[in-house]
C-alpha cells in the first residue's frame, strides 16, 4: 500500500505540472492515478485489515459492505478504462491525417473522463443493491452478491 501510494503520488505530481497539464493524455493519466489511489484505499486497506488484523467491518454493517464492494468494483473498472482512453488519444495524435490529430483536445479528454466515469458509476450501481451479508457457515459471514 505504501509503495502504491508513493507511486501514485509521484505520478500525480508529475502529471499536474504546468507544462504537462495542457496535454490531453496527462488528463487520462491523472484520472488513472486517482482511480488507483481509490482502489488502494477502498479495497486493499480493508482487505489488509481483514487478513492481517482479523478486523472485518464489512460484515458488521450492510452499508459498509455495499460501499466496499461497489467502490472496489468501480475503481477496478475505471483504471483500465482510463488507460484505454489514453491509448485512443495516442492513436489520434499519431495519425497521419491532420483532421484526426485535431480531435485530440483537452476538452475531449475532460468530457471523456467525466462521461465515462458517470457511465461506469451508473453501470456498476447494481452492486449497491444486490450485495448482502451472507452466512456461509457457522459463525462465518461474507459480504458478497446475493445468490
Query: Which range among 27-36, 117-126, 138-147 shows the weakest confidence by mean pLDDT?
Result: 138-147
| Average of per-residue pLDDT across 65-87 | 95
Which of 147, 123, 125 is CA-nearest to residue 135?
Answer: 147
Q: Kindly report the pTM of this predicted structure.
A: 0.88
- Which helix (DSSP H) or strand (DSSP E) does residue 64 occupy? helix 62-93
| Average of per-residue pLDDT across 55-66 | 88
pLDDT 10s digits, 37-50: 999 998 888 888 88
Locate the domains of the chain by residue range.
2-145
Coil/strand/helix, residue 123: helix
Mean pLDDT of the chain: 92
Report the pLDDT value the prediction gives residue 55, as an integer from 0 to 100: 84
A 10 A CB-CB count for 3 gives 8
Q: CATH fold of 2-145, please?
A: Rhopdopsin 7-helix transmembrane proteins (1.20.1070)
Amino acid at each position: 500500500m505504501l509503495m502504491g501510494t508513493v507511486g501514485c503520488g509521484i505520478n500525480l505530481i508529475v502529471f499536474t505540472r504546468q507544462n504537462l497539464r495542457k496535454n490531453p493524455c496527462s488528463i487520462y493519466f491523472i484520472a488513472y492515478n486517482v482511480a488507483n489511489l481509490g482502489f488502494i484505499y477502498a479495497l486493499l486497506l480493508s482487505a489488509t485489515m481483514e487478513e492481517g488484523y482479523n478486523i472485518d467491518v464489512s460484515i458488521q454493517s450492510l452499508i459498509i459492505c455495499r460501499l466496499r464492494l461497489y467502490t472496489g468494483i468501480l475503481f477496478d473498472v475505471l483504471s483500465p478504462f482510463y488507460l484505454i482512453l489514453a491509448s485512443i488519444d495516442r492513436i489520434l495524435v499519431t495519425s497521419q491525417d491532420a483532421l484526426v490529430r485535431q480531435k485530440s483536445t483537452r476538452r475531449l479528454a475532460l468530457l471523456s473522463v467525466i462521461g465515462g466515469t458517470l457511465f461506469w458509476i451508473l453501470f456498476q450501481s447494481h452492486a449497491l443493491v444486490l450485495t448482502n451479508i451472507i452466512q456461509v457457515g457457522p459463525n462465518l459471514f461474507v459480504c458478497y452478491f446475493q445468490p
